[in-house]
Structure 1
């Protein structure tokens, strides 16, 4: 009998839910907790799926469960199938009897300035009745708010293990640090180096934040120091105005200025960022049941994210 026919006949939703949970959680233990299953029951379902597929979907080891190449390919299809089923179920709900959904979202300030406006617009095309309450926060405050139940969904950075306890994290992209100026900045008339850039006023995130740590690592690596003329602020809107209108050099996470670079309202200096970048992803509470609006938002984020920034 045709192998593909057998796969289509025998696969069940529990196989897809189990597979996606393990892929997102990274370990069988956390996935079992999320699905309210015992680990042996989850392992059995996963083994059934791999037998149906005729291939290993995960490599299991001390560090958890890592997707194989075949697993990465299957994950795309599994997520789409589950998303489609969620949307199909929504069609049976009498809209006139429902209260408007209220969705509470916490996002990094750089995300709010960068990718999130387009995500909201696409989300409301599918959920025109939804009320979205958005808070822009530093990452530690965002994580604490998610744990306390103040937000349904967050877009934030991976943090220390103790900070991530009780939370589920799904990587979207790695966010690098860029140095940007207005397009007619005098710096751009010459060969640009980090030391030459630091001869101008700088606007940068406060100490203790992830962008500041990356900037300080870059400075140490190239034996440079911040100038005396310095603005430290967590306000991306203020920093953006200083860079757009004056001669400030802005140290900024790449996700916040994607549109500015695309439309050439700001110019990036050819100065290499330190390291691969900070991981930014979708964060929810482990084991919590997501509302339909939360599921739609998460699906929209997955479809809209820019890949590695």
Structure 2
């Protein structure tokens, strides 16, 4: 579903808009709260409201909706946000150029990744990137897909390693497929079900389970897989977590069974610290890929990291 086209801005907009207006819009988009945006900008909340009102008057449209859940951009606000981010990025690059490149050592790459995807993809890519770009500081945010995409759209992240979302959540974003991965059913070595030539789904459900939280793609895949057998998750004896490190340790130290995307357990499976049960999971494949803002002009170091991911994906395939 595509959004309706936003009318052109008034002719006086370009002559009168100022950087403070754009910085205010970006801060509100990223903080989603006027008070936090004001604190970030070192302004009073009334000053932020006044600046937003000026910007809305210049643009001739409503840009921000205020409610009990905070402040959110309208469709027009999101369209203007994309331009504001480009302008502020250009100003930052100009400042760096005027300073003779002295800020290069402080370059930063802001990544987001799904907890279930990060373990399989990021360690090797980050290690190679660190050798190639040692002057760049990398910050990594792990979270569910929806907040990652919102942070990407608002300019808080440069790129996200995640999954494609519904069309209404993909406005302004592009997705590059890296790989499709399936669900795996994993236990510790020596588990009563490990090593069997064929595991029974009914037998699996007799043991404590480790699953991802509601609303995540891995949880949806788990529920759908069980539903295909006419089953559902037991109401008791299950751990729901997005923390892959906790999940793998619980499974290694108990008789719990873990329903997880294959990549999240790949290293443990390769090292033999976890084993995959002989339980086919057809139809659970989900695409994993790279998401960036469609109009983003990524810096060289970000493009180099993306190249590392593509190389890793090619080897994996």
Residue number among 219, 224, 241 corresponding to 1:217 in the alignment: 224
User: Of 100, 112, 135, which aligns to 1:129?
Assistant: 135
Residues 211 and 241 of structure 2 are in contact (CA less than 8 Å); yes or no, is this contact kept in structure 1?
Answer: yes
2:233 counterpart of 1:226: yes
Q: Helix, strand or coil: the match of 1:283? A: strand
* Distance (whole Å) between structure 2 residues aligned to residue 189 and residue 176 of structure 1: 20
Q: What is the match of residue 19 of structure 1?
A: none
3-state secondary structure, aligned to 1:170: strand
Q: TM-score, normalised by structure 2?
A: 0.65
Structure 1 unpaired stretches of 5+:
1-93
In structure 2, the partner of 1:202 is: 209
Aligned-pair CA distance for 1:110? 1.6
Counterpart of 1:156 in structure 2 is: 162
Map 1:139-288; keep pairs closer than 5 Å: 139-188=145-194, 190=196, 191-227=198-234, 228-275=236-283, 277-288=285-296
SS at match of 1:215: helix
Q: Following the alignment from structure 2 to structure 1, what is the Cα–Cα distance between the partners of residues 209 and 167?
A: 33
Q: 1:109 aligns with which of 111, 115, 128?
A: 115
Give the distance between the partners of 1:140 and 1:229, measured in 2 at CA.
Answer: 28
How far apart are the structure 1 equivalents of 2:241 and 2:250?
11
Please say if residues 177 and 290 of structure 2, whose CA atoms lie closer than 8 Å, have aligned partners that are also in contact: yes
- The structural deviation recorded for 1:164 is 0.8
SS of 1:99's equivalent? helix
Partner secondary structure for residue 114 of structure 1: helix
Change (3 A) 1:108 1:204: same
The CA deviation string for residues 181-203 of structure 1, in whole angstroms up to 9 with x for no partner, is 00111112544111111110001
Task: Tell me by how many angstroms 1:255 deviates.
Answer: 1.2
Q: Distance in 2 between matches of 1:97 and 1:222?
A: 58
Give the alignment's Cα RMSD to 1 decimal.
1.8
Unaligned runs of 5+ in 2: 1-99
Partner of 1:290: 298
The 1:294–1:230 alpha-carbon spacing in structure 2 relative to 1, beyond 3 Å, is same
8 Å CA contact 2:121–2:309 kept in 1: the answer is no
Displacement of 1:95 in angstroms is 7.8
| Bigger mean CA offset, 108-117 vs 187-196 | 187-196
Structure 1 position 307, deviation (Å):
6.6
TM, length-normalised to structure 1: 0.66
User: Are the aligned partners of 1:174 and 1:308 in contact in 2 as well (CA < 8 Å)?
Assistant: no
Summarize deviations over 1:160-184 as a string: whole Å, max 9, x none.
0111110011000012111100011
Please report how far the alpha carbon of residue 271 of structure 1 lies from its aligned counterpart in structure 2 after TM superposition. 1.4
